[in-house]
Amino acid sequence: MSPGAPETLRVGMDLVSVEEVAASVDRFGDRYVTRLFTPHEIETCRTAEGPARGRGAYAVESLAARFAAKEAVVKVLRPVEMQPDWRSIEIHRMTGGWCEIRLSGQAAELAAEAGIGELAVSLSHESTVAGAVVVGRCTPRERGV
């Protein structure tokens, strides 16, 4: 890819059933939550006065939206074999309420290989389904996109 090649965009989107996430929280508890979500995400989604365990402990719609966003990021990264650790993709809630994507580890490596320098995310949910759209801006590099 020549240095003058144009930037390109990649788009990923995903939908997740809120009930499926709630059932997973009920069935597997903190083990499910901690295998998928970062401490920041868990803190962001924990209910203030809910029970310590089970679906009531979390805003499961928010967990579902974050999982959808992670899957949308994976679609943008287009891994051939290596599936990045879900926790290497963090949906970081900013003070103003919007979210940004922060990559680390394997996800960051995949983004670097693809020349993806910027990601933007939009989350949405209603009572039964959550979704997310992610856009990645690719700057062509030696290995191309």
Partner 1 sequence: MTVDETIRQVLTDHGRLAVAVDSISEDTDLFGAGMTSHASVNVMLALEDAFDFEFSEKMLKKSTFESIAAIRSGVLEMTGG
Of 19 and 92, the one with the shorter C-beta distance to partner 1 is: 19
State the amino acid at position 6 in one-letter form: P
Of 17 and 124, the one with the shorter C-beta distance to partner 1 is: 17
* Residue 88 is a binding residue for partner 1 (CB under 8 A): no
The answer to whether the beta carbons of residues 59 and 80 sit under 8 Å apart is: no
Q: Which residue has the tokens 């992610």?
A: 134
The answer to whether the beta carbons of residues 131 and 15 sit under 8 Å apart is: yes
* Residue 82 is a binding residue for partner 1 (CB under 8 A): yes
* Residue 71 is a binding residue for partner 1 (CB under 8 A): yes
Region 16-45 residues binding partner 1, contact defined as CB under 8 A:
16-17, 20-21, 24, 27-28, 31-32, 35-36
Q: Which residue has the tokens 């979500």?
A: 37
CA distance readout (Å), 79 to 41, 47, 85, 113, 141: 23, 34, 12, 10, 17
Question: What's the count of helices (H) and strands (E) in the chain, helices before strands?
Answer: 5, 5
Q: Which residue has the tokens 């997310």?
A: 132
Among 47, 83, 124, 128, binds partner 1 (CB under 8 A): 83
Q: Shortest gap between Cβ of 141 and partner 1 (angstroms)?
A: 25
Considering only the stretches 41-49, 51-59, 66-74, 111-119, report the one whose residues sit in contact with partner 1 under the rule CB under 8 A. 66-74
- Chain contacts with partner 1 (rule: CB under 8 A): 16-17, 20-21, 24, 27-28, 31-32, 35-36, 67, 71, 74, 81-83, 85-86
